[in-house]
Chain A
Amino acid sequence: MQGNTSKKLLVTSSPHVGSPLTTKRIMLHVIIALSFPLTAGVVLYGLYSLLVVALATGAAVFGEWLYNKIRRKPDTVSDLSAVVTGMILGLNMPPTVAFYVPVVGGIIATMFVKMLFGGLGKNFANPAATARVFLLLAWGTQMMNFVNPVDYGAFTAENFFMGFTADSAYVTSATPLAAIKSSALTGAPGTDLISLFLGTIGGTIGETCKIAIILSAVYLIIFRIIDWKIPAGYFLSVALCSLVFYKEGWNYILPSLLSGGVMFAGVFMLTDYTTSPVTRAGVWIFAVGAGILTVLIRRYGGMNEGVSFAILLMNLLTPLIDKATKPRPFGYTKPKKQKEGAHDGENK
């Protein structure tokens, strides 16, 4: 038993146990959830879309790795957060973009938006949303070139790999968002809700198939990875604002929710931990505010889609929201104002 005395024991301050959830596990859960819309995207738009997402992911990871290498910082790629950023960015692109678009986007997302501001947890804006806005400005036509899904009825190999060959049979389609915008004063959006729901429309790789996104949402909420209040508040707010801002608004509630990036952003992008508030009240303000902005931009702005901009604007407000909604500690009441500048309540 004497040997025992020299046994080294770990001494730390309490608590001594912890939940098994780690940053990496959270990211793995998100990657699993992202694989649902990715699968749907590949089925809808062909294999080239997989390459787009893979390039964006690879570039995002590379951007983070390179930054750490240049700054001689410890490698942080293994926390998988760059993979999540890259996948979200890739899924936010049309399936027809040239290969360099996701590559540039991925590097911008991690290297510039995330790492330059201090890395994981420190960036003030959502890396994927910011990179997407950058790409929209840089390659506007490519980023808004939406095509119809693969026509499996007239199936050819070329059809499935469309995008690999320059002049494959793309059928460019007007998106439902354009229809919603142009019909705002007529009260009849004329969108087919079923194809909106299934995703058999033109759009970005990950955004169109709502079934896949709903599955992801259920998955992420069950595993308590995302706060259900964010998608719930966002969707409610989009629905309400559509009702108010469009003529015969009730016709616009479902089309607004099911078109563009609303569902995808509500589940994957607004829920980004780093750029969303941490307080209970703040989360509601954030989600509802993003919904209002989305609809206002769609209805009155110059573009058909406003989700990315709404996300970025709300990201910028997040620190302020957190500050303004600081919860009152249990049992705490504000001490009565004393003379200005005097510290009160602390001098026990």
Chain B
Amino acid sequence: MKIKSFRYGIHPEERKDISKSMAIEALAPGSLLKVPLNQHIGRPAKAVVAPGDAVKEGQLIAEADGFVSANIHSPVSGTVIKRETLRNYLGTKTECIFIENDFKYVKDYLPPAEKERSALIKRAREAGIVGMGGAGFPLDVKLSPKGEIRTLLINGSECEPYITADYRLMAERAEKIVRGVEYLKIAAGAENAVIGVEANKADAYAELMKYVSGDITVEMLKTKYPQGGEKQLIYALTKKKVPAGKLPADIGYLVSNVATAYAMAEAVEEGKPLIERIVTVSGLAVKKPANYSVRIGTSFRELKEASEAEDDFVKAIAGGPMMGVALHSVDFPVTKTSGALLLLTEEEIRSIEPTPCLNCGRCANVCPMSLLPMKTDALILADKIDECRAYHPELCIECGCCAYVCPAKRPLVQSQRLAKKLIRERGK
């Protein structure tokens, strides 16, 4: 068996052992859930319930507003208390629907769907499924691209350190994932599907191997970050490069991930909308690390308390340590794209005191996009935006490899983001 990979990248300390052996455990929902209406890329959903309304588990509470948008469903049965606009952890504002849980869990799911292309795309939209790997792009939009999709690629690499949510899902529920992949394959009109799993998840790989057949295959990927980056994954599995500024669909590929495939299987077979996801709770501050099955809208605080975190954490992160978002409080709700809550202690986090660049070239050597991050950093801090364009910050995928390896602890990927923003603003 040949282990596949992309070029360059890094080997960050994995720390997956903390939560790797914890089986998926359902976290009992609390009495109040706050469901945000923009958990996806695109326009926020429009609320269709009013305060005082009784809702059932799985009932539509906000509907997609426009083509690139997604439906939102009630994670539990109960009563809508209010609608309120809250600040989310990205610093912008989001309307949330507050639902009081009646603990009866009266379901209102959809009927099972036909396993035929247009019905499956329709189901992805009805069930509010979005890419669960982090970006949250509405699945139905992705499934209906302009060009032809030849191959569906499923990301099971989970290359971010700490996170084990996808791993547990693959190790425990491989059969259903493979069925979900089959539905996605039909919905995308693809000829075949390939699931890529990193070598550090050998048992998940073996488990998937048991159920795949025919035009669905599993490939082992080298354990390396960012193996799950869309362009990197495509290159690793097919040796094709997505041209700059183009989408995978332009060269006949569609990339989704295992959690999305699993959600698709649930939506197709049980009519269950996306109201629940697996969230890893990890970090050295956590006493009882876990992989919880959590209802969307549950507060991160409940996760923190369930895993008996010590109060010595200095950073709380929604998502992975390489690309996740630092929270200023754990009182934010879990969304469709939250793969993890990490409570990190002083010893785990990166120093944020930059020292002068040594010109050592480590950032350039690890950049999976072959950029020169140190040049962008120096130029953008000197406000030389036009010179900066020559180093193509717009192609940066923001994986953070450069900042990870920098011995001077320079905020290299942050400079790339700044460069992107300034070029966008002044480029017009």
A residues with CB within 8 A of B: 1, 4-5, 7, 9-19, 21-23, 25-26, 79, 119-122, 227, 273-280, 283, 322, 326-333, 343, 345-348
Contacts and interface: CB of A to CB of B under 8 A. Distances in A.
A203 B342 CA distance: 57
B315 interface: yes
Contacts of B357: 121
Contacts of A343: 389, 427
B323 interface: yes
Contacts of B409: 18, 22
Nearest to A16: B321
A280 B244 CA distance: 21
Contact of A273 (B231, B360, B395): B360
Interface in B320-365: 321-329, 331, 342, 344, 348-352, 355-361, 364-365
14 contacts: A1-B305, A15-B403, A16-B315, A17-B161, A17-B349, A18-B406, A121-B356, A276-B359, A277-B361, A278-B360, A279-B364, A328-B370, A330-B370, A346-B394
Given A331-B231, A333-B243, A347 B369 contact: no
B407 interface: yes
Contacts, number: 177
A17 B392 contact: no
Given A23-B407, A278-B359, A327-B364, A10 B349 contact: yes
Task: Pick from B315, B352, B370 the residue with the most CB of A within 10 Å.
Answer: B370
Nearest to B343: A9
Contacts of B417: 13
B356 A17 contact: no
Given A10-B314, A17-B344, 4 more contacts: A16-B326, A23-B408, A329-B244, A333-B244
B321 A278 contact: no
B44 interface: no
Contacts of B427: 343, 346-347
B400 A15 contact: yes
Interface string B155-176: 0000001000000000000000
Nearest to A4: B311
Contacts of B13: 17
A23 B357 CA distance: 9
Contacts of A1: 305
B315 A10 contact: yes
B423 A346 contact: yes
Nearest to B400: A15
B358 A23 contact: yes
A269 to B, nearest CB: 15
B241 interface: yes
A16 to B, nearest CB: 5
B413 interface: yes
A14 B348 contact: no
A329 B371 contact: yes
A16 B368 contact: no
The size class of the interface chain B forms with chain A is: 35 or more
A138 to B, nearest CB: 29
Contacts of A13: 326, 411, 413-414, 417
Nearest to B304: A4
B326 A18 contact: no
A18 B409 CA distance: 8
A270 B319 CA distance: 42
Contacts of A5: 329, 331
B245 interface: yes
Interface string B1-12: 000000100101
A131 to B, nearest CB: 19
B322 A330 contact: no
Contact of A347 (B246, B350, B428): B428
Given A227-B361, A274-B359, A330-B395, A346 B389 contact: yes
Interface of B: 7, 10, 12-13, 161, 231, 235, 241-246, 305, 311, 313-317, 321-329, 331, 342, 344, 348-352, 355-361, 364-365, 368-372, 374, 389-392, 394-395, 398, 400, 403-409, 411, 413-414, 417, 423, 427-428
A343 to B, nearest CB: 7
B316 A17 contact: no
Nearest to A271: B360
Contacts of B10: 19
Nearest to A226: B360
A9 B305 CA distance: 17
Task: Pick from B389, B392, B417 the residue with the most CB of A within 10 Å.
Answer: B392
B358 A9 contact: no
Contacts of A347: 427-428
Contact of B315 (A9, A277, A330): A9
Nearest to A274: B359
Contacts of A348: 245
B348 A17 contact: yes
A5 B350 CA distance: 24
Contact of B355 (A21, A23, A331, A332): A23
A332 B244 CA distance: 5
A283 B400 CA distance: 24
Contacts of B324: 14, 16
A33 to B, nearest CB: 16
Contacts of A119: 356
B355 A79 contact: yes
B208 to A, nearest CB: 28
Given A17-B161, A26-B407, A278-B374, A9 B328 contact: yes
A304 B370 CA distance: 41
Contact of A330 (B327, B368, B407, B408): B368
B269 to A, nearest CB: 36
Nearest to A22: B407
B153 to A, nearest CB: 16
A58 B416 CA distance: 39
A310 B371 CA distance: 29
Contacts of A10: 314-315, 326, 349, 352
Contact of A15 (B322, B356, B370): B322
Contacts of B314: 9-10
A330 B9 CA distance: 13
Nearest to A6: B329
A187 B150 CA distance: 66
Task: Pick from A14, A22, A331, A347 the residue with the most CB of B within 10 Å.
Answer: A14
Nearest to B408: A23
Contacts of B358: 23, 26, 120-121, 273-274
Contact of B372 (A19, A121, A327): A327
Contacts of A18: 349-351, 403-406, 409
Nearest to A21: B407
B164 to A, nearest CB: 16
A345 B394 CA distance: 10
Contact of A345 (B245, B360, B365): B245
B166 to A, nearest CB: 19
A11 B328 contact: yes
